[in-house]
Structure 1
Amino acid sequence: MKAIVIGGSGQIGGWLLRHLADRGSDAVGTFATVAYPGLYPLKASDREAAASWLRQQAPDVVFYPAGFTWVDGCEHDPATARASNLEEPLNLARVTADIGGRFVYFSTDYVFRGVNGPDSEESPPDPPNVYGTAKLDAERAIAGELGDRALIVRTSWVYGPERQGKNFAYQVIRRLIAGEPVMVPSDQRSSPSYGPDVALAAIRLVEDGHSGLFHVAGPEVLSRPDFARAIAKGFGFDLEPIGSKPTAELGQGAPRPLQGGLLTPRLDAVLPGLMRPVSTSIDDFLRRLNHDDGWNDPRVISSA
């Protein structure tokens, strides 16, 4: 299988490339702003150039975990949110379909308002913010144009080892190391999803010929405080610095789902047990950091 990963420097993109290589696939990753060795510089915003390059590559499958994922930034800049999360991936999805390939688009639990979650693939979406709206519009546009050549993967609260070190687990660990308080929303609940598992699930779904919409998320629904405490405990830190306040008191720029999370009936039917719970995942997280697999280690204080 020849695969292209648009956004290979990101959290899910990095794991897609690692797993694809381990499984013997011919995989090429791209980056837009954060360069790593072996990645090809590609700006999806340069739509003609990106389309031309993709045609030359002639992949069997394109994975698209890239996009503008800063939720508050999307709220303040809806044009960029729509371009990065809808128009640019749709451009490359069309090219992929033209050359006979399959397209995997990564979406979010933020397509749901988060009032009665967790939600399944059958739950009616109702995005609470600009980010979720752009993602939902992309899901519908890509699925509508590509049909069974499209796989839509919704996930939530992704964490685990990564090269840039930006996810929630890194934020918690670094603040604890610095002796700073960790303040998280008391009233947000969702499904923590281990990045290596999310990437592997997407690849396995492609290998097995699946298409359509799949929720790919961890098996537990936790509150942000419980998730933060699980991370701290797993890494051997005191839980005392972890505090919480209601979302309304934290001044976040975009509305968030509160009672969120993703149910995974379709994934469980075809790949049962693939998504690991938080405690097991954190053990794996530490093991990978300790083996120095090239991931950013949040326990190491940079001198920069």
Structure 2
Amino acid sequence: MSVRILQFGTTGQVARELLRQAPSYDLAITALSRAEVDFADPEAAAAAVEQARPELVIVAAAYTAVDQAETDRELAYTVNAETPAAIAQAAARAGAAVVHFSTDYVFAGDKPEPYREDDPTGPLSVYGATKLAGELAVVASCPRALVLRTSWVVSAHGRNFVKTMLRLAREGQPLRVVDDQFGRPTAAADLAGFVLSQAPRLAGTPSGGPVFGVHHFANAGETSWRGFAQGVLALAMGPAAPQVAPIATAERPAPARRPLRGTLDTGKLERTFGVTPRPWRDAVAEIVAELAAQPQASAA
């Protein structure tokens, strides 16, 4: 089934994976870059939807500079809340479904068990607050909207934790990583593959279907950032992997507060879509292998 897909964003980790994998799902995506549509201009984004008349809109652009958002509140709110709302409203008028990505940062991180979709939110940062405002606005604006909260996204491209750890290890720098923040790492490739695999279903499901609303997607397995680093280095270097020293969040202060335990429960997604995300180590092993096949300069 061919689906007319309009995607906002071309350079982010998930955006790039969506474009890379689309041909494998026999899907074609019209992707709009920042140069083509200013994501800080809600009216321009809405006009793009109205002109394209898609069946599915994917919002794969966002303001993701977590610490910078603390002093750049207005732009972060526009990009993460106002523009997605305008897109969702335009999609509803066009009869299109919407996929919008959100984050574990909408939670306070003080729950001892993994967070479910209906748990109370409580963002600790401007970034988290703007993403929460965005997901609420998208769901309110379009009855056929799927909001996917995810966490700790990594890939073989762009800037991310996997690439940073490998670069520091190559440089021989001492590794000290936070060991009191927990979550579920997520491969951008897996998240993009899930969305593409569900595109025909999303485009064909009427409002009120269980596929819409808020769902959580993250690769299986909880770990700390230090545990994540150790796993990455073990996969890449085996017994030669350097030691990773543990530090507390308090030892590495940042402008924006992070949830100490933003672990997401993916049970609802598994029941609704019949999809079980694979373990994060399996997903990250593929990223490490892809980076190893690249020239070292491009893997930095």
Q: TM-score when scaled to structure 1? A: 0.88
2:87 counterpart of 1:92: yes
1:284 match: 286
C-alpha deviations, 1:33-56, integer Å up to 9, x for none? Answer: 6xxxxxxx3212233333323322
Displacement of 1:79 in angstroms is 1.1
Counterpart for residue 155 of structure 2: 160
Give me the whole-angstrom Cα distance separating, in 2, the residues matched to 1:43 and 1:160. 25
Aligned counterpart for 2:117 among listed residues 121, 125, 139:
121
Q: Which residue of 2 aligns with 1:27?
A: 29
Query: What is the CA–CA distance in structure 1 between the aligned matches of 2:163 and 2:248, rounded to whole Å?
Result: 22
For 2:187, the aligned partner's letter is: Y
Distance (whole Å) between structure 2 residues aligned to residue 214 and residue 14 of structure 1: 22
> In the TM superposition, what whole-angstrom CA distance separates every residue of 1:268-292 from its partner, at most 9, and x where no partner exists?
114445422122112322444466x
* Separation of aligned partners in 1, 2:97 and 2:275: 25
Q: 1:61 to 1:181 in 2, by over 3 A?
A: same
Per-residue CA deviations over 1:37-81 (Å, capped at 9, x if unaligned) read xxxx32122333333233221111111121111111112221121
Gaps of 5+ in 2: 203-210
Aligned length: 288
User: In 1, Cα distance between the equivalents of 2:118 and 2:283?
Assistant: 28
Is 1:258 aligned with 2:253? no
After alignment, is 202-211 or 152-161 more displaced? 202-211
1:189–1:260 contact (8 Å) kept in structure 2: yes
Partner of residue 212, structure 2? 211
Aligned pairs (5 A) from 1:52-201: 52-116=47-111, 117-147=113-143, 149-162=144-157, 165-201=158-194
* Alignment CA distance shift 1:272-1:194 (3 Å): farther
Distance 1:27 1:139, change over 3 A: same
Contact 2:114 2:263 in 1 (8 A): yes
Higher mean alpha-carbon deviation, 104-113 vs 245-254, is at 245-254
| 3-state SS in 1 of match to 2:39 | coil
Structure-1 residue corresponding to 2:221: 220
Q: 2:45, 2:83 within 8 Å by CA — same for their partners in 1?
A: no
Change (3 A) 1:239 1:286: closer
Q: Match of 1:213, SS?
A: strand
What is the percentage of aligned positions where both structures have the same residue?
31
1:188–1:258 contact (8 Å) kept in structure 2: yes
In 1, are the aligned partners of 2:175 and 2:243 still within 8 Å (CA)? Answer: yes
Give me the TM-score of the superposition, normalised by structure 2.
0.89
Q: After TM superposition, give the deviation of residue 122 of structure 1 in Å.
A: 2.1
Q: Quick check: 2:146–2:212 contact (8 Å CA) kept in 1?
A: yes
Match of 1:245 among 244, 247, 251: 247
Per mean C-alpha deviation after superposition, the further-off stretch among 264-273 and 207-216 is 264-273
Q: Given that residues 180 and 241 in structure 1 are in contact (C-alpha distance below 8 angstroms), is that contact kept between their aligned partners in structure 2?
A: no
Q: Gapped runs of 5+ residues in structure 1?
A: 34-40, 292-296
User: Residues 233 and 256 (structure 1 numbering): CA distance in 2 closer, same or farther, change over 3 Å?
Assistant: same
Of residues 118-127 and 24-33 in structure 1, the stretch that sits farther from structure 2 once superposed is: 24-33
**CA deviation after TM superposition for structure 1 residue 135, in Å:** 0.9
SS of residue matched to 1:183: strand
